[in-house]
Amino acid sequence: MNAPRIDTLPPGVVSLGDHEAHARSVLDASAWAYFAGGAADELSLTDNREAWNVLHLRPRVLRPLAGGHTRVSLLGRELAHPILLAPVAYQRMAHPDGELATACAAAAQQAGLVLSTQASLPLEQIADAVRDDPERGPLWFQLYLQHDKGFNLELLRRAEAAGYEALVLTVDAPCHGARDRERRAGFRLPPGVRAVNLDSLPPRLARPLAPGASGLFDDLLLDAPGWDDVAWLQAQTHLPIILKGILDPEDAREAARLQVGGLIVSNHGGRTLDTSLPTATALPSIVHAVGDSLPVLVDGGIRRGTDVLKAMALGASAVLVGRPYIFGLANAGALGVAHVIRLLRDELEIAMALCGCRTLQDIPPTLLVA
């Protein structure tokens, strides 16, 4: 598979909400539960979206707007716009071209891409498809630390050799959330879809449990990563390490003390701990905690260009989206993903113009009224 196929957009799809509605008719019940669902009662899934909605914009008028742009600097690179694609596993469940289609669409739209550890295509294949495109956005690799340190190092070296420019270490999921929707749907990976980059991971051997012991606390979580693992990872690579899943300012300050490359304010899209703080609510305190020492990105519930504008007003350096581009992928492959990115970017430009902001640097905190 060297290039993604050419699909067509479904008629009447003109927003990210339209993409989601149409994808529900395309994906089977199991895949829909996996991609669209959240943890437990899915309150965080809903709250992420509502937290952006309750922030109102107070626009300025008659401002100079000619020559405006959406460019932003991030980790030493100038990006055409601040929209990146968050890591999402098993994308071949949504479309046969999976992560290849996503990567090509991201490159075509100059969006950053974060490839999941649990991608359903090899990390080298994805990097080879887009690495040499001079117009593409950043290419990052998301890392879940596994129980085998030797395997973690092997995976890191593969990402470095393939040309990934940063590591995104997910730190908010030492275990899975209670995903009721997936259980109700009887979720199973379909034949032929697996986390191919984990094929050489040695099996994890369960520890014998004493009577009354917990299989979670006394076995699985003995391998959960800690701050010392972040320091170990830093010592193994020249790549910047971005911590994904930060909601508490003290965690942000500890990350700054370790001089990581950046932070992503995230509650895992509401897929792990239900009733956790919405990311739009958490973002200002994280930005305040680290000041100018680290770039702070945010994901969770972003569905409109106005949401991107609000995130920048709250101090974010950039944003990531996950489910929306997966719905675009399900609807029309690479074209659907590209359409989602383009819609967000166009809506961001419109919102900037209507709020009197010529550039992202011109967005003041006073633009927002809660």
pLDDT for res 96: 97
pLDDT for res 104: 98
Question: Is the entire prediction scored with pTM above 0.85?
Answer: yes
Q: How far is CA 301 from the centre of its chain?
A: 11
pLDDT for res 79: 98
Residue listed under structure tokens 């990581």 = 260
5: which residues sit within 8 A by CB, 6+ positions away?
96, 97, 101, 333, 334
Q: How many CB atoms lie within 10 A of CB 229?
A: 15
The DSSP code sequence of 173-222 is: -SS----HHHHHHT--PPTT---GGGTTPPPPPPPP--TT--TTTTTGGG
pLDDT for res 2: 66
Q: Is the Cβ–Cβ distance between 344 and 308 less than 8 Å?
A: yes
Buried b (16+ CB within 10 A) or exposed e, 303-323: bbbbbbbbbbbbbbbbbbbbb
In angstroms, rounded to a whole number, what is the distance separating the alpha carbons of residues 360 and 128? 32
Which is the catalytic residue, given 147, 268, 288, 339? 268
pLDDT for res 205: 87
Strand bridging mode 368-369 / 56-57: antiparallel
Backbone angle region of 291, left / alpha / beta, with phi > 0 → left and psi within -120 to 50 → alpha: left
What is the residue type of 53?
Answer: N
Token duo for residue 199: 């094929």
User: Is 69 considered catalytic here?
Assistant: no
Q: What is the pLDDT of residues 260-315, one digit of tens each?
A: 999 999 999 999 999 999 999 999 999 999 999 999 999 999 999 999 999 999 99
Host H or E run for residue 252: helix 249-257
pLDDT in tens, the chain (370 residues): 568 888 999 999 999 999 999 999 999 999 999 999 999 999 999 999 999 999 999 999 999 999 999 999 999 999 999 999 999 999 999 999 999 999 999 999 999 999 999 999 999 999 999 999 999 999 999 999 999 999 999 999 999 999 999 999 999 988 889 999 999 999 999 999 999 999 999 998 888 988 999 988 988 878 889 999 999 999 999 999 999 999 999 999 999 999 999 999 999 999 999 999 999 999 999 999 999 999 999 999 999 999 999 999 999 999 999 999 999 999 999 999 999 999 999 999 999 999 999 999 999 999 999 8
What is the residue type of 194?
Answer: R
Q: Is the Cβ–Cβ distance between 311 and 280 less than 8 Å?
A: yes
Map out the domains of the chain with their CATH numbers: 16-198+225-362 (3.20.20.70)
Token duo for residue 335: 């074209």
In angstroms, rounded to a whole number, what is the distance separating the alpha carbons of residues 55 and 47? 13
270: which residues sit within 8 A by CB, 6+ positions away?
38, 39, 42, 43, 44, 45, 46, 47, 48, 276, 300
